């Protein structure tokens, strides 16, 4: 029997990488629309094409979609988070759920370091000034990164990569993680309050969970040295955006580098009117290399499972496969 793989949606111009790998393994690829279709449409696609595997980017893979695809063996996420997949249904039906957990470690840590350099060297600020017709080098209030303390909140894969890169700039490094793991030479592990009060630059790499919602709130921001920088490249709701906006308004924070917002894609006007705000539209994960790696590894995981092997990145322990 030829396996059918359903690609529900994709956040890139075409499905060539996925198609090359799936068809190269002698399987059939059926692609849904590039933009994620409503759940009901994904459910009817699954019912009609009876896939052995579903590859999904942002589209909802509901319990109904999973239940209607009788030959289904794997739901592979083109990304990290699994909140668009009915994982429990998959698990109870013996279906693997996989992701690609580390495809963008370099990109997200580069993005964090990029915000730090953009601030210390005034790259965003002066680009705006020059475009507005102001050539005023004497107004510069720039900083030497090597003399600053950077605190990393969430010391996992990406946090450690950020520390490794910042170490090359010579700054002092602090980290906070409730599950600290192996100590890293040159990085002092501290509690969150000490990190906030000792850091010129605070970088948030903690995941969003019920316990990390607004982990960085008004009280913790108030602990920071005046005139510092807050960077968030994790998930918007880990940081209280209103508290950051108020700290910028009052000059307690000099700047904020935010790739993620709790209200995204909406951007609060109060934040937009803060000159210290450096904003990017949730692109820290993205590069030509990271997207290629993501697409290749997710499709290869599908082929591996449909050929009878174990997945490399299982995120569940499906009944019958444990």
Residues marked as catalytic: 235, 264, 282
Measured between alpha carbons, how far is 34 from 16 in angstroms, rounded to an integer?
Answer: 12
- CA dihedral (97, 100, 101, 107) in degrees, to 10, reads -160
Tokens of 132: 């507005």
Strand partners, 229: 201, 255
Nearer to ligand NAD, 22 or 215 (CB): 215
Nearer of residues 64 and 196 to ligand NAD, judged by Cβ: 196
Residue 191 C-beta: closest distance to ligand NAD, Å? 10
Is the peptide bond preceding residue 265 cis, with omega within 30 degrees of 0? yes
* Strand order from edge to edge, sheet including 277-279: 187-189, 172-176, 149-153, 201-204, 228-232, 253-258, 277-279
As a whole number of angstroms, the distance between CA 177 and CA 183 comes to 11
Q: Identify which of residues 123 and 208 has a Cβ nearer to ligand NAD in the complex.
A: 208
Q: How far is the CB of 108 from ligand NAD (least distance, A)?
A: 5
Q: Give whichever of 8 and 286 is closer to ligand NAD, judged by the CB atom.
A: 286
The residue nearest ligand NAD at its CB is 156
Nearest distance, CB of residue 85 and ligand NAD, angstroms? 16
Quick one: 119 or 285, whose CB is closer to ligand NAD?
285
**How far are the Cα atoms of 117, 120, 153, 154, 259 from residue 184, in angstroms, in the given order?**
23, 25, 14, 13, 26
Q: How far is the CB of 314 from ligand NAD (least distance, A)?
A: 16
CB of 155 to ligand NAD, least distance (A): 5
Q: At what angle do helices 105-120 and 123-131 cross, to 10 degrees?
A: 60
Sequence-distant (≥ 6) Cβ neighbours of residue 181 within 8 angstroms: 155
CB 188 within 8 A of CB 173: yes
Pick 26 or 178: Cβ nearer ligand NAD:
178
Shortest separation between residue 260's beta carbon and ligand NAD, angstroms: 5
Please write down the long-range contacts of 124-128, taking CB distance under 8 Å and 24 or more positions apart: 124/278, 125/275, 128/275
| Interface residue list for ligand NAD (CB under 6 A) | 80, 104, 108, 153-159, 176-179, 205-208, 211-212, 215, 233-235, 259-260, 282, 284-285
């Amino acid at each position: 029997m030829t396996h059918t793989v359903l690609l529900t949606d994709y956040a890139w111009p075409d499905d060539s990488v996925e198609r090359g790998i799936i068809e190269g393994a002698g399987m059939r690829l059926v692609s849904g629309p590039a933009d994620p279709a409503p759940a009901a449409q994904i459910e009817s696609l699954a019912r009609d094409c009876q896939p052995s595997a579903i590859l999904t980017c942002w589209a909802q893979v509901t319990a109904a979609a999973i239940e209607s695809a009788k030959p289904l063996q794997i739901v592979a996420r083109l990304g990290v988070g699994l909140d668009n997949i009915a994982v429990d249904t998959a698990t109870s039906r013996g279906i693997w759920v996989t992701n690609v957990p580390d495809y963008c470690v370099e990109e997200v840590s580069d993005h964090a370091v990029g915000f730090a350099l953009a601030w210390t060297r005034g790259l965003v600020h002066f680009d705006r000034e020059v475009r507005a017709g102001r050539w005023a080098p004497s107004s510069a209030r720039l900083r030497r990164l090597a003399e600053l303390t950077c605190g990393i909140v969430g010391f996992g894969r990406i946090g450690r990569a950020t520390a490794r890169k910042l170490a090359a700039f010579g700054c002092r490094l602090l980290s906070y993680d409730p599950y600290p793991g192996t100590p890293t030479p040159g990085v002092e592990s501290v509690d969150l309050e000490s990190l906030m009060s000792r850091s010129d630059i605070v970088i948030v790499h903690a995941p969003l969970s019920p316990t990390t919602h607004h982990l960085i709130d008004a009280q913790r921001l108030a602990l920071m040295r005046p005139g510092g920088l807050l960077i968030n490249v994790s998930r918007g709701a880990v940081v209280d955006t209103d508290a950051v906006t108020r700290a910028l308004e009052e000059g307690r924070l000099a700047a904020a580098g935010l790739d993620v917002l709790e209200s995204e894609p909406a951007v609060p006007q109060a934040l937009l009117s803060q000159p210290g705000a450096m904003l990017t539209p949730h692109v820290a994960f993205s590069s030509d290399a990271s997207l290629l790696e993501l697409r290749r590894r997710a499709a290869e995981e599908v082929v591996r499972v449909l050929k009878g092997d174990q997945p490399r990145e299982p995120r569940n322990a499906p009944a019958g496969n444990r």
